[in-house]
A and B are shown apart, each in its own frame.
Chain A
């Protein structure tokens, strides 16, 4: 190891790795300074540089108590060795016996995109290391205050108003904007993927269904986004789509924050389409040129005209006139005319009254560590049929492109 420019902190500490037999030997070798690792010390194998780097990362963290256990991953509370008060969540991905094709695509997607996206409103991936040789550990920032779904559901315990909603929507909007700015589609935005940090900041999590924007002509699967938040183009089977799919989901999160119940909650795809027609209006060639050419385009008769602003004001009036404008922009049927993340952030809503609540004044609910355990241990990217329902989760990686 003397040859390496890399410092390997903790490599000589207690034998925490499975290779304890080698540890004890390297202890000997590093006890004598300036030991060359060659023939003179032939019994202590030098690690690959990649292995050394891995050890270095691993020894930066201490794994603590288990916060949650799932089929896909276990989540542990952890902290920095050098700073016990800096908490982290360590998501240990289990090796899946059922999946025989190596590292699973959902884990790959989550890693690939979280490694690239660094933004206050996107959960930070602090480090990745392997333990016991082959178990992947994702070190994520610790977000102890639960998620937006908890706040929405707790109608007894948590009261919030228009200024609070505006603050949360601002954080969600910025997170989504940063994804799109970096050509990443999240494809699973919903309240329980929006986690809350100790300081009240909302963070977009679960990138297990995310992918980069496709090249023109490359097809993508339309089987993404949890049904209640899935836009009409995906329900109609579109294979080419854009960031607009995420914006539709953002619109439904906005609506749900206001009325405190999911706005369009169909229990099948057919019903989801029919509810969209009732709530928003029936997609037709008039309002959305080309829609009837989509592979699975079917709408119930008779068609409902696209709802006007009055309709939205009646339900979502507490968001104010401009808030309702933003909401309507997000729920435009034709994805090409839907508001973009950048346009959302540039909207005059933000500068009109009320001002967004400051983070420290936002309502909160003490979720504790158990909640982040629940949120993170879920298999990323698997769509649950019904929120909260304990349904068996389907393993289907084949079509997930």
Chain B
């Protein structure tokens, strides 16, 4: 009757983060490429439709023109549409993820807790929101759904899933120049893009655990720390550095898609103090032939993960100029039919609510009835 022992790895493999949100770099690129190509096709089609409608409207045939779409019509540029590439989309998404981290700082959270927990609170919130955005844009394109709007929705939704619930109006107030309905309009799209999985596994707790263990080694409470001089101080420094990596690079790069939270944590420590981590890993996997293969395999994975974490440092200088150009390009290739999400959402809701099954049946009967009456070439008798 004793519980079968389930290793941490086995448990992780049951998570949606592993089952649905882990990819090889090649498969991730393939998904993003497909998404980008589909979206580009859709933009061209939508632009074509809007132009057709406009042409029809200007030729006096107003019945075909969609009156409510005037905003979209005016947004359609002339000429061939120049769509974003996969790389360009990725740069934009990264940029907006960065903004999400900054936006989260604006939120006023209740101050009934100590300051450092306040920071942790915000970190979980922002970290989850950023992962939501990154996951969403694997199967959705910036050209279809504007990341500037979606990031607010992601942040709001994260307040619900991470148990930091805000009143929507308060949230919208805290985020300048945002209307509540704008935030809600893409909430459903977001949850669909997330494939209705909301749990994100972060490496933050793992780091705290490893650091506690390292400190215990440094204090001599756990053997193995005597080989390194000034270990206590080094642990403290590595902790700080690793935290920085987890708070930014880990969130903005693709490491969550390719590595487990504990690997990400270890890699961030590895960047901070390689010698320290070698010692730590050595205490877990004592050198010897039995552990040689697994040790080598682990180090290879950690090094690759560390490399990816450090790649952000180079990208981060991605000049404002380039981003400005990308933002401008995006404005010209937005899908004109998906710009006014608030109206689309309203139309869907209003359309849905009343159509329950009985009503549908009744309408069908009425239609059939009128169809019978209408068999006469000139239609049914006019009702008086």
Chain A interface residues toward B at CB < 8 A: 3-5, 18, 37-39, 42-43, 45-51, 53-54, 95, 97, 100-103, 105, 108, 111-113, 115-116, 118, 128, 130, 132-136, 170, 174, 177, 181-182, 211-212, 214-220, 342, 345-347, 350-351, 397-398, 400-401
- A347 CB → nearest B CB, Å: 8
B2 lies within 8 A of A111 (CB):
no
B192 lies within 8 A of A46 (CB):
no
User: Complex formed: what's the CA distance from A103 to B191 in Å?
Assistant: 9
Closest to A118 in B: B14
A49 lies within 8 A of B140 (CB):
yes
Digit string of B154-189 for contact with A (CB within 8 Å is 1, else 0)?
Answer: 001100110111011000000000000001100111
Apart from A46-B45, A130-B188, A134-B348, what are 13 other A-B pairs with CB-CB below 8 Å? A46-B41, A49-B31, A50-B195, A51-B192, A53-B195, A97-B353, A101-B167, A105-B160, A115-B198, A215-B120, A217-B113, A398-B167, A401-B163
Cβ-Cβ contact count across A and B, 8 Å cutoff: 155
Chain B interface residues toward A at CB < 8 A: 1-3, 6, 11, 14-16, 30-31, 34-35, 37-39, 41-42, 44-46, 48-49, 112-114, 117, 120-121, 124, 139-140, 144, 156-157, 160-161, 163-165, 167-168, 183-184, 187-189, 191-193, 195-199, 205, 348-349, 351-353, 355
Note all chain A residues with C-beta closer than 8 A to B39: 48
| Complex A-B, nearest 4 residue pairs according to Cβ-Cβ distance, in ascending order | A350-B1, A49-B139, A128-B196, A112-B198
Note all chain A residues with C-beta closer than 8 A to B197: 111-112, 115
B44 lies within 8 A of A100 (CB):
no
Note all chain B residues with C-beta closer than 8 A to A42: 44-45, 48-49
Note all chain B residues with C-beta closer than 8 A to A100: 168
B3 lies within 8 A of A345 (CB):
yes
Closest to B196 in A: A128
Query: Which of B6, B14, B117, B163 has a CB less than 8 Å from the CB of A116?
Result: B14
A–B pairs, 15, beta carbons within 8 Å: A3-B38, A4-B34, A42-B45, A42-B49, A48-B140, A95-B352, A103-B157, A103-B187, A105-B160, A135-B352, A174-B3, A181-B6, A182-B11, A351-B1, A401-B163
Closest to B352 in A: A132
User: Complex formed: what's the CA distance from A35 to B48 in Å?
Assistant: 19
- B247 CB → nearest A CB, Å: 16
Closest to A218 in B: B117
A116 lies within 8 A of B15 (CB):
yes
Note all chain B residues with C-beta closer than 8 A to A48: 35, 38-39, 139-140, 144
Note all chain B residues with C-beta closer than 8 A to A136: 196
User: Complex formed: what's the CA distance from A116 to B348 in Å?
Assistant: 30
User: Complex formed: what's the CA distance from A319 to B184 in Å?
Assistant: 53
